[in-house]
Homo-oligomer: A and B are copies of this chain.
């Protein structure tokens, strides 16, 4: 994962506007938000998914970078004072802290757009049908019926009189983080023009890895120090965040994450040993320390 993170940082360096011209502060803050930090798990999923179908590494790397731009945009906006009001992200001040709120809003806006510039560009794939399909499915994963819808539910849950039940929390998490991770896992199948069945298997793997990842994230929020996590921890319980951990308690939540990882790996049964890193990632997400 560290090797992929460094390759993706190089790709981001090439795909984000250079720090020059009068808009320099915007470009600098876009780079700050995307590069030099983060696990780049979504990028890893794109690249390992693409490996299953012999996709050209340059194509996979561009899509991986686009997914990380989209993810970084969501973090920059989630951290805003009107949202989660976080000061620390990936061990560094958040964008609205390092610059200001207006810049952070614009950085998020521009990172989302730049993801679509990258996906729609001929350099990403010679077949325009592949490019259009990537744009469509990233947009579906990220929009009102995906990530942003999940973020809305999360904001509403904090203010709600009644806590959400397990089904509602599961849906919230699927939308907020699961859909983008699902897209990352199936993007390689889109790039490789794989059959519907293989694409569905990777998507299902991604959804379950995403759900396990979310539980692990909530456990880290409970147990890690801010130094270990690179961001404020212990906030979820205080903010009334809707998490499975809050509903199930640590032991049952951890058991559920283990179950999700087992299921995720099952979806890879028809893949050969090229999928071993995807299998390994599934168990890694619930053992990680940040």
**Using a CB–CB distance below 8 Å, which chain A residues touch chain B?**
16-17, 22-23, 25-27, 30, 73, 77, 80, 82-83, 100-103, 105-106, 108-110, 112-114, 116-117, 119-121, 127-129, 131-133, 135-136, 138-140, 142-146, 148-149, 151-153, 155-156, 168
The answer on a CB contact under 8 Å between A148 and B26 is: yes
Q: List 27 A-B contacts (CB under 8 A).
A: A16-B144, A17-B145, A22-B156, A22-B168, A23-B144, A26-B149, A27-B144, A30-B144, A73-B109, A77-B105, A80-B105, A82-B100, A83-B105, A103-B152, A106-B148, A106-B152, A112-B112, A113-B142, A113-B148, A116-B138, A117-B140, A120-B132, A120-B135, A120-B139, A128-B132, A131-B135, A132-B135
Specify the chain B residue showing the minimal Cβ separation from A26. Answer: B152
The answer on a CB contact under 8 Å between A153 and B77 is: no
Known contacts: A135-B120, A152-B23, A153-B23. The answer to whether A108 contacts B110 by CB under 8 A is: no
The answer on a CB contact under 8 Å between A113 and B152 is: no
- Which residues from chain B contact A30 at a C-beta distance below 8 Å? 144
The answer on a CB contact under 8 Å between B121 and A136 is: yes
Say what secondary structure dominates the interface of chain A.
helix
Interchain CA distance A129-B125 in the complex, whole Å = 12
- Residue with the greatest number of chain B CB neighbours at <10 A, chosen from A17, A77, A128: A128
Other-chain residue from B113, B131, B144, B149 in contact with A143 (beta carbon distance below 8 A): B113
Other-chain residue from B102, B113, B133 in contact with A144 (beta carbon distance below 8 A): B113
Other-chain residue from B110, B129, B133, B149 in contact with A148 (beta carbon distance below 8 A): B110
Nearest CB of chain B from residue A145's CB, rounded to whole Å: 6
Nearest CB of chain B from residue A160's CB, rounded to whole Å: 10
- Which residues from chain B contact A133 at a C-beta distance below 8 Å? 120, 128
- Which residues from chain B contact A153 at a C-beta distance below 8 Å? 22-23
- Which residues from chain B contact A27 at a C-beta distance below 8 Å? 144
- Which residues from chain B contact A102 at a C-beta distance below 8 Å? 82-83, 155
The answer on a CB contact under 8 Å between B112 and A144 is: no
Nearest CB of chain B from residue A26's CB, rounded to whole Å: 4
Known: A113-B146, A121-B136. 8 other contacts (CB 8 A): A17-B145, A30-B144, A82-B105, A109-B112, A109-B148, A113-B139, A116-B116, A117-B136
- Which residues from chain B contact A101 at a C-beta distance below 8 Å? 82
Other-chain residue from B106, B132, B136, B151 in contact with A106 (beta carbon distance below 8 A): B151
- Residue with the greatest number of chain B CB neighbours at <10 A, chosen from A73, A102, A138: A102
Interchain CA distance A168-B129 in the complex, whole Å = 39
Interchain CA distance A156-B106 in the complex, whole Å = 12
- Which residues from chain B contact A128 at a C-beta distance below 8 Å? 127-129, 131-133
Specify the chain B residue showing the minimal Cβ separation from A17. Answer: B144
